[in-house]
Amino acid sequence: MNTQKIFKYTALALGVIGLILQVVILNQGDDTIKLNALSGDYGVVSTMVTLALIVLAITVSLTLIFSINNLASDPKKLKKALLSIGAFGVVVLVAFLFSSGTETPLKDGEILSAAGSRWIETGLRTFYFLVFIAVGAMLYTGIIRLKK
C-alpha cells in the first residue's frame, strides 16, 4: 500500500474520532462537564486531549523523520542545517549567559525557583535577540537593494 494512502486514511480516522468526541462533548453541555470535573471525572474531555497529544506526537515524529531523510540525502543541506542549529544554539547560550535568576513568589503562593526564573529570562532574551537579528537582516537587505 502506498504511504500516501496510509497517511490519508490515518488522518481521516483521527479526524472522524475527533469529530465524534467533539459531538459528544457538545451534547453533554458545559454544566455537566464542569460538575463531572469537580468530582475528578474528566471523561470525554481528557480523551479529546489525549487524541490531540497523539496527533501532535505523530506530526512531530513524521516531520522529524522526513526532514532528516531529506537532509541525509544532500550533504550541503545537512551542513547548512547544522550551521543554522549551531547559530541558534549560540544565540540561546548568549541569552543564558546574560540572564540571571531570582526566586519569585507567584500569585498562587508557589515560588518560582531561581533556575526557572533564569530559563524564562533566557527565553525572553532569545526572542528579543532573534527579533533584533531579523529586523537587522531586513534593513540590511533593504539598504543593499536600494543601492543597486
The per-residue pLDDT string of the chain (148 residues; one tens digit each, 9 = 90 and over) reads 688 888 899 899 999 999 998 888 888 877 777 777 777 777 778 888 889 999 999 999 989 998 888 888 888 988 999 999 999 999 999 999 999 888 888 888 888 888 999 999 999 999 999 999 999 999 999 999 998 8
- Could you tell me if 18 and 51 are in contact, meaning their C-beta atoms sit under 8 angstroms apart? yes
- Could you tell me if 45 and 33 are in contact, meaning their C-beta atoms sit under 8 angstroms apart? yes
Q: What is the pLDDT of residue 32?
A: 77
Q: What is the pLDDT of residue 16?
A: 93
Q: What is the pLDDT of residue 1?
A: 65
Q: What is the pLDDT of residue 141?
A: 95
Rounded to 10°, the helix 3-28/30-38 angle is 90
- 13-26: pLDDT as tens digits: 999 999 998 888 88
Q: What is the pLDDT of residue 127?
A: 97
Interatomic CA distance for residues 106 and 109, integer angstroms: 6
Q: What is the pLDDT of residue 75?
A: 87
- Could you tell me if 53 and 18 are in contact, meaning their C-beta atoms sit under 8 angstroms apart? no
Query: CA torsion angle for 135, 139, 145, 148 (degrees, to 10)?
Result: -150
